[in-house]
Amino acid sequence: MTQLHRIIADCVFREQQPYTLAELCRARIAPPDGSTITAPAGSSGSDGSLLTLRDYLLSLRINNSPVFQQRAGNTPGISTADTYRFNFVGLLNVGQFMFLVLPKYYRGVTPDIIRGHETHMLEEFAAILNAIRQYLRNPNHKNDAIGFGYEASTDNNSGNLIDLYRFLLEDFAENGLYQSSRRITELNGLGEIDWNRTVNQIVPLRSASSKPVYVDIVSTRSTSDTTTIIRSIQAAVITDISRYLESSGLNMLFHLPTAEPSPKTLSELGDRDQLCRLLWKELRVQFVTRKRLLLRALIQYLEMRSSGQIMPLLAQGTCSFNLVWEDACKVVFNDEESLHATQPPQWDYYEPLDWADSYHQATTKTTISAGEITEDDSDETHNAAGSPLEPDVVALNRDGSKRYIIDAKYYIPRYKPVFPSERGKKPKGQVDRTPGMKDIVKQYFYLMALMPQEMSEGTVVNAAASDEDGGISRGSADSRPSVIAGNAFVMPGQIPLIPELHSLSNAEERNAEQSTEPYVPPREHRKLLVRRGATYFPFMEKQLQAIYGEDVPSSIALFEMDPEQALRLYVGKPDRTAGLERLASMFER
């Protein structure tokens, strides 16, 4: 059992859930080698360390989004002034504290429930980190700063250590140990002839035609020095990092390419100042970009290791897990990005403009699109154009005759059934934390913007088609219109972190009044999708039917998707056939 297995139950927290400082204290662990926590001036003991932790966590940002913040609002039984929450999903190892923060769709995130199920917990948490890494690896998201970053070209000693570890380990896995190249000048060597030196240093013989003949030449060649101390320093650093990650169990989550190429430790090679001087000396004569980045990273590691910084940070995660959920839905439901575009607004204006009442001359109408903005327009004009409205997912059925619109929402609805006192009446209820008015209006807009407007000789004129292609959107192989056959919100289902181990039949025997939470079986026995209900504007049904006929979906379906299964599908190999089957089962009448 690794160190991580022994401590994990006390280190697990949930996104958006309120915690007091006393509850955060249970995440204290043995500090990593070489790290310490220094209490602020005027503080002492554990209280000082905890206040230092709080202040450091409050200072963390990812793309200006706070990782941790003081909770606003009133919570029964909890002092608001001492309550905090994580706006983050992932791992934070901060000095003597480790926080494994789960997405907000989990319930039952308490140490008592987790104990005895540490292996299951680590498996699910590793899947979450894999999904975050999958999102960041996608070239389409290279500009999305949703995670902690690392720049090897900087000398920032307060950054995220895990990204420094990743850079060093992956560079070693790809390129091996450092090799120092040197240019050697030789007399009559096997390298390239250096004619400048040969002409200046060698006396030639004269041929019969008085032409110079060089019997001896000066040559140059490159050689690799495999005995340099830099190689030994790098090998010791790689071994040091690998031993820590493997002994702590953290590499079960990070999946870094660890190795132990050195039998010696850094302390056996010399003290920090001596090793850093050697690295700086090599850096001054090294001009290969990759090797310079490696030397800087080694210097940064040595300085961090012995600096005694207040809060050494190892972190991987995001403050924007909603984007990961949205991207997972694109994969699960076979998103067709080329079908997203909706037609931009057109502006009609008249010129010349005359404010005089006596002016009655006909004006000329000019039409421009919202995107036609010249370079000398003001910033206010650019902002007025806004970003285009595009749905999260647009998918086709097997023959292309139907489209499905899906909006991925990272919401966790809360349902409160309310039963009337009169028997025989339909019970009513309350629901909150659901898609709001703007979300519902947008889904109706997407339906109308993407619905075919008319047919002409086997083609479909679509409102979303651009002017360049004449407004024509190709139909299916048999020229049927690609109509909108489904419109839905998809949210993560609320699931227990540790599933109940008894069977469903046993669960049904329980007194329903003793538990307000529905029974959720283990992942292998769960459905991927469950329809929760629908939302709609009552007046829209007749309006849509009058325009498009009775087959148009007048309501927006609400589905909850098992997030554990969804994330595994996201990081696995896409299966379009399975995606088609899911769409058909969701929207079949």
The answer on 134 and 54 residing in a single domain is: yes
Tokens matching residue 88:
């983050």
Q: Which residues on neighbouring strands pair with residue 75, listed in sequence order?
A: 78
- pLDDT at residue 44 tops 80: no
Number of domains in the chain: 4
Name beta bridge partners: 212. 206
User: Is the pLDDT reported for residue 53 higher than 50?
Assistant: yes
**Mean pLDDT across 254-260:** 91
Give yes or no: residues 492 and 569 share one domain. yes
pLDDT at 73 over 60: no
Cα separation, 546 vs 552, in Å, equals 10
Q: Give the C-alpha separation, 183 to 343, whole Å.
A: 62
Would residue 187 count as lying in a domain? yes
**Residue 400 backbone class (left: φ over 0; alpha: ψ -120 to 50; beta: rest):** left
Note the pLDDT of residue 439: 93
In a domain, 367, yes or no: no
Tokens at 384, concatenated: 């007025």
Q: Across residues 195-214, what is the average pLDDT?
A: 85
Local confidence band at 298 (pLDDT 50, 70, 90 cut-offs): very high
- Bridge-based pairing state of the strands 495-496 and 106-107: parallel
Question: Are residue 489 and residue 552 in the same domain, yes or no?
Answer: yes
**Phi and psi angles of residue 140, each rounded to the nearest 5 degrees, phi first:** -70, -15
What's the rounded Cα separation, in Å, for the pair 240 and 262?
9
Tokens of 26: 């249970």
Pick the range with the lowest mean pLDDT from 356-360, 365-369, 402-406, 460-464: 460-464
- pLDDT higher than 60, residue 440: yes
The band of 381, judged by pLDDT with boundaries at 50, 70 and 90, is: very low
Closest CA to 532 of 496, 490, 487: 490
Q: Are residues 271 and 286 in the same domain?
A: yes
Residue 75: which pLDDT band, with cuts at 50, 70 and 90?
A: low
* Same domain assignment for residues 257 and 197: no
Render pLDDT for 157-187 as a digit per residue (tens, 0 to 9).
Answer: 446 788 889 999 999 999 999 987 777 788 8
* 48 part of a folded domain: yes
**What is the C-alpha to C-alpha distance for residues 154 and 297, in angstroms, rounded to an integer?**
9
Distance CA(322)–CA(442), nearest Å, equals 18
SS3 call for 275: helix
CB-count burial class (<10 Å; 0-12, 13-18, 19+) for 454: exposed
pLDDT at 568: 94
Statement to judge: residues 7 and 21 lie in one domain: yes
Residues 329, 330, 334, 338, CA torsion sign: positive
In this predicted model, what pLDDT tens digit does every residue of 482-515 receive, in sequence order? 788 999 999 999 999 887 654 444 444 444 444 4
Whether the pLDDT of residue 553 is over 80: the answer is yes
Query: What pLDDT, on a 0 to 100 scale, did the predictor assign at position 514?
Result: 45
**Could you tell me the CA-to-CA distances from 523 to 128, 527, 568 in Å, in that order?**
15, 8, 11
- Of 251-265, 498-512, 531-545, where does mean pLDDT reach its minimum? 498-512
How far apart (Å, rounded) are the C-alpha atoms in residues 365 and 363?
A: 6
Q: Of 213 and 18, which is predicted with more confidence?
A: 18
Looking at the DSSP bridge assignments, the partners of residue 314 are: 93
- pLDDT number for residue 394: 93
The answer to the question of residue 302 being in a domain is yes
- On whether both 287 and 336 belong to a single domain, the answer is no
pLDDT band of 307, cuts 50, 70, 90? low
Answer yes or no: is 335 within a domain.
Answer: yes
Residue 251 and residue 138 share a domain: no
Q: pLDDT: is 328 or 139 the higher one? A: 328
User: What is residue 390's DSSP assignment?
Assistant: -
Report the pLDDT value the prediction gives residue 68, as an integer from 0 to 100.
Answer: 93
Work out the pLDDT band at 433, boundaries 50, 70, 90. Answer: confident
In this prediction, residue 500 carries a pLDDT of 67
Q: Which of 32-36, 258-262, 362-366, 423-427 has the lowest mean pLDDT?
A: 32-36
Mean pLDDT across 320-343: 91
Residue 285 buriedness (CB in 10 A; 0-12 / 13-18 / 19+): exposed
Same domain membership, residue 184 and residue 116: no
Q: What is the mean pLDDT of the chain?
A: 79
Report the SS3 class of residue 475.
coil
105/156: higher pLDDT = 105
> Quick one: which of 348, 493, 357, 482 has its CA closest to 412?
493
Q: Is residue 52 part of a domain?
A: yes
Pair (211, 237) in one structural domain:
no
Is the residue at 443 inside a domain? yes
Within 10 A of 368 (CB to CB), how many other CB atoms are there? 11
* SS3 category, 530: strand
Express as a percent the part of the chain with pLDDT over 90: 33
Question: Can you say whether the dihedral through the CA atoms of 549, 551, 553, 554 is positive or negative?
Answer: positive
pLDDT at 459 over 50: no
CA–CA separation, 76 vs 74, rounded Å?
7
pLDDT in tens, 272-290: 999 999 999 999 988 889 9
- For 113, the domain range is 3-36+43-147
The two tokens of residue 17 are: 């859930």
383: pLDDT strictly greater than 90: no
Distance CA 102, CA 168 (A): 28
Tell whether the model's pLDDT for residue 363 goes beyond 50: yes
Q: Comparing 56 with 482, which gets the higher pLDDT?
A: 56
Residues 20 and 117 in one domain: yes
Please tell me whether residues 103 and 251 are part of one structural domain.
no
Give the number of other Cβ atoms within 10 Å of residue 161's Cβ.
22
**pLDDT tens profile 463-481:** 444 444 434 344 443 445 5
Average pLDDT over residues 259-268: 91
Q: What three-state secondary structure class fits 22?
A: helix
**Does the residue 15 lie in any domain?**
yes
Bond prior to 352 in cis (omega within 30° of 0): yes
* 3-state DSSP assignment of residue 310: coil
DSSP string, 56-101: HHHH-EETTEESEEEPPS-BTTB-GGGEEEE--EEEEEETTEEEEE
Percent of the chain whose pLDDT exceeds 70:
73
Reduced to 3 states (helix: H, G, I; strand: E, B; else coil), residue 510 is coil
Give pLDDT, residue 552: 86
Q: 441, 482, 442, 440: which is closest to 459 by C-alpha? A: 482
Whether the predicted pLDDT of 31 surpasses 70: no
